[in-house]
Amino acid sequence: MNAIHRHGRNDDGVALLLSLLFIVLLTVLVVEYAYETQVDTSLVAANLLDYQAQVAAKSAIAMGVSVLTADAMALQSAGEPGVSQAPQIGSGTADDPTVGGATFDSLDEMWGYGIPFQSINKAIMQCSIDDEYGKINLNALLDSRTQEPNETLENALRFLFEARGAEEDPTDAILDWIDSDDETRPNGAETDYYQSLLTPYPCKNAPLSSVEELMLIRGVTPALYFGDIDLEQLPLSEVLTVHGHRNGRVNINTAEAETLTAMGDSLSIPGLAELVIEERQRSPFSSNAELQQRGIMPAQPSTPGGESGARAARPFTVSSSSYRLYGNGICGDSRVRIEAFLTRDPSAGVDGIRITEWKELR
């Protein structure tokens, strides 16, 4: 009888242990499931925030495009092509055939203020618009057919790098990078130099695809590219471009002081930047003829080599057709920035806008 009783108690103990083991295993499974569910929920929430930030950034770009489109449409409805009836609305110039049928572009126009921060759904969006014609076009340093250098732009670039305190002037290296031959300029670099680097790569021998590509070129250091904050220097992407006027003309209404100073030094016009900025505060320049009338440019400006002519006489324009848009989207801890380069092109469709480059940054 006692043996049977002891055997029954042993069975009860085993059953209890099995029950406890089952409970422990079940608890582990429940905790693991709860943890995975929490992680999945967090990932879904993060993805949702990122998606909403992306939508906000795209919406900001769309609003920027609408501002540029409205500007062009307002100009068309203002009257005869090439004649401005509203100084605050512009884009182009009657004497610049590259931007057909427009008047002028300046920072006083609606697009110059961009799109301020504003709510969209549960996110925040903002858009800035910059004129690429207000910068020195690196791809206009050489004539695409003759490969002859544009002396005004070449020397402006040299003055700009000198003012930034470059350890070595990278202008020759930039020219070697974009020209089609393998002949090395005095301070330049071709494929043999780049192949000797720790991580070798060829010289492009073609136009630049982006300003950031300068970082691949001999002499362009991070310090030179990003500028000295203490000296209030802007990154090179704010004064140089690959989306500018095809002949290298700079929009005098929108150019930064650093760009104007370099152009003035190249054209032997001292104090050009200060004079232009002072005049722009009064009113933007509405035509190239006005540059002479208001004492900005001599009647026949010369190149650094002393030559005069069409290229020397037209280093500036007062109009634009290429813009860089930054669309920013913020939702919680998620931030998305879209960089888009746009060209106003009447043949591009209903809105007359053609996107030439698009990058999403996170």
The CATH number assigned to the domain with range 1-135+239-247+316-362 reads 3.30.1300.30
The boundaries of every CATH 3.30.1300.30 domain in the chain are 1-135+239-247+316-362
Could you give the 3-state DSSP secondary structure of residue 251? strand
The CATH number assigned to the domain with range 147-232 reads 1.10.40.60
For residue 26, what pLDDT is reported? 66
β partners of residue 339: 326, 359
For residue 7, what pLDDT is reported? 52
The boundaries of every CATH 1.10.40.60 domain in the chain are 147-232
10-residue mean pLDDT profile of the chain (362 residues): values are: 53 66 66 57 67 94 92 64 36 41 81 93 95 98 90 97 94 97 95 96 96 97 92 93 96 98 96 96 93 86 50 80 96 95 79 88 83
- Tell me the pTM: 0.79
Q: Which helix (H) or strand (E) is 136 found in, with range?
A: strand 136-137
User: Alpha-carbon distance 244 to 322, whole Å?
Assistant: 7
Give the CB-side neighbour count of residue 61, counting CA atoms within 13 A: 25
For residue 313, what pLDDT is reported? 53
Q: Which of 174, 199, 196, 198 is CA-nearest to residue 187?
A: 174
Q: Which of 174, 163, 112 is CA-nearest to residue 141?
A: 174
β partners of residue 119: 124
For residue 38, what pLDDT is reported? 58
Number of H helices, E strands in the chain: 9, 9
161, 182, 323, 333 from 130: Cα distances, Å: 22, 35, 6, 27
For residue 84, what pLDDT is reported? 38
